[in-house]
Structure 1
Amino acid sequence: MIDKVISTIKRYKMIEANDKIVMGVSGGPDSLCMLDILYNLKDLFNLKLYVVHVNHMIRGEEAKRDAQFVKDMCRKLKLPFFLFEKDVKKIAKEMGYSEEEAGRYVRYQAFEEVLREVKGNKIAVAHNKNDVVETVFLNLIRGSGMAGLIGIKPVNGNIIRPLIEIEREEIENYIKEKDLKPVIDFTNYEDLYKRNKVRLKLIPYINETFEVDIIENIYRMAKIILEENDYLEKECEKIFNEVCYFNQEEIFSDIKKLRAQHPAIQRRLVRLMYQKLKGDIYGLEYIHVEDVLSLLDKPTSSKIDLPFEIEALKSYNNLIMRKVKEKEAKTFWAKLNIPGITKICGVGQFKASVLGIEEIKKLNIGKYTKFFDYDKIQEDVVVRNRQAGDIFSPLNLGGSKKLKEFFIDEKIPREIRDSIPLLAIDNEIVWVVGYRMSDKFKVDENTKKCPCDRVYQRIK
Structure 2
Amino acid sequence: MTELSAAHKALGAAVSGGADSVCLLTGLCSVCSEYSIPIKVITVNHFIRADSETCGDAEYVEDLCASFKQKGFDVSCTVYNLKRGQVQELSDLKGCGIEAAARELRYNAFDSFIKENNLDYLCLAHNKNDQTETVLMRFLQGSSGTAKEGIPYVRGSYVRPLLWTSRDCIEEYLNSKKIGWRTDLTNTDTAYLRNRIRGKLIPLLNQDFPGWDNAVLLGLEKESLDSQCLQNQAQDFFNRFMGEGISTPVSQLAFPGPDFYSLDRAIKLRVLTLALNALGINERIPYVFLRDVCDYADNYNRRNNSNCGQSVKSFADVSLVFSQNELLIKKSADLQNEIVFSVIIKESGICELPSGQFFVPDIFDFPVMLRSCRLDDVVRTADGGTKKVNDVLSDWHVPVWQRNCIPVVQALNEPEQNIIGILGSCLGYSDWIVKLDNKNENK
Candidates 46, 59, 67, aligned match of 1:68? 59
CA distance in 2, matches of 1:272, 1:41: 38
Partner residue, 1:352: none
1:107-256 matches, within 5 Å, as 107-210=106-209, 212-244=210-242, 246=246, 248=248, 249=250, 250-256=252-258
CA gap of 1:255–1:158, structure 2 versus 1, over 3 A, is farther
Partner residue, 2:28: 38
SS at match of 1:121: coil
CA gap of 1:208–1:151, structure 2 versus 1, over 3 A, is same
How far has the Cα of 1:59 moved from its partner? 0.8
Partner residue, 1:56: 46
CA distance in 1, matches of 2:6, 2:291: 40
**What is the aligned length?**
320
Percent identity, please. Answer: 27
2:81 partner letter: F
Partner residue, 1:290: 291
Structure 2: segments with no counterpart, 5+ residues: 70-74, 301-308, 336-374, 376-393, 403-443
1:83 partner letter: Y
CA distance in 2, matches of 1:95, 1:117: 28
1:283-362 matches, within 5 Å, as 283-296=284-297, 300=310, 302-306=312-316, 310-314=317-321, 316=323, 317-325=325-333
Partner residue, 1:23: 13
- Could you give the per-residue CA deviations for residues 32-86 of structure 1, whole angstroms, max 9, x where no partner exists? 1111112222134553322221222111221111111112222333413232224
Of stretches 85-94 and 30-39 in structure 1, the one that deviates more from structure 2 is 85-94
CA distance in 1, matches of 2:202, 2:319: 39
Structure 1: segments with no counterpart, 5+ residues: 1-8, 328-366, 368-407, 416-460
How far has the Cα of 1:200 moved from its partner? 1.1
How far has the Cα of 1:412 moved from its partner? 11
Partner residue, 2:277: 275
CA gap of 1:18–1:272, structure 2 versus 1, over 3 A, is farther
Partner residue, 1:358: none
- Equivalent pair of 1:292/1:312 in contact (CA under 8 Å): no
How far has the Cα of 1:203 moved from its partner? 1.3
SS at match of 2:329: strand
CA gap of 1:262–1:244, structure 2 versus 1, over 3 A, is farther
CA distance in 2, matches of 1:193, 1:104: 14
Partner residue, 1:264: 266
1:303 partner letter: K
- Could you give the per-residue CA deviations for residues 162-202 of structure 1, whole angstroms, max 9, x where no partner exists? 11111111111111112111110011123221101111111
User: Given the alignment of the two structures, is residue 47 of structure 1 paired with residue 37 of structure 2, yes or no?
Assistant: yes
CA gap of 1:277–1:29, structure 2 versus 1, over 3 A, is farther
CA gap of 1:247–1:109, structure 2 versus 1, over 3 A, is closer
- Could you give the per-residue CA deviations for residues 214-266 of structure 1, whole angstroms, max 9, x where no partner exists? 22111122222223333332232112223546553133222211111111111
CA distance in 1, matches of 2:35, 2:327: 47
- Equivalent pair of 2:265/2:294 in contact (CA under 8 Å): no
Of stretches 136-145 and 86-95 in structure 1, the one that deviates more from structure 2 is 86-95
CA gap of 1:15–1:242, structure 2 versus 1, over 3 A, is farther
User: Given the alignment of the two structures, is residue 84 of structure 1 paired with residue 81 of structure 2, yes or no?
Assistant: yes
Of stretches 47-56 and 262-271 in structure 1, the one that deviates more from structure 2 is 47-56
Larger Rg: 1
CA distance in 1, matches of 2:157, 2:399: 37
CA gap of 1:27–1:311, structure 2 versus 1, over 3 A, is same
- Equivalent pair of 1:140/1:148 in contact (CA under 8 Å): no
- Could you give the per-residue CA deviations for residues 79-121 of structure 1, whole angstroms, max 9, x where no partner exists? 1323222431222112222111101100100000111111212
CA distance in 2, matches of 1:169, 1:44: 27
1:431-446 matches, within 5 Å, as none
How far has the Cα of 1:323 moved from its partner? 4.3
Of stretches 237-246 and 252-261 in structure 1, the one that deviates more from structure 2 is 237-246
How far has the Cα of 1:300 moved from its partner? 3.1
TM-score (norm 1): 0.62
TM-score (norm 2): 0.64
CA gap of 1:39–1:260, structure 2 versus 1, over 3 A, is same
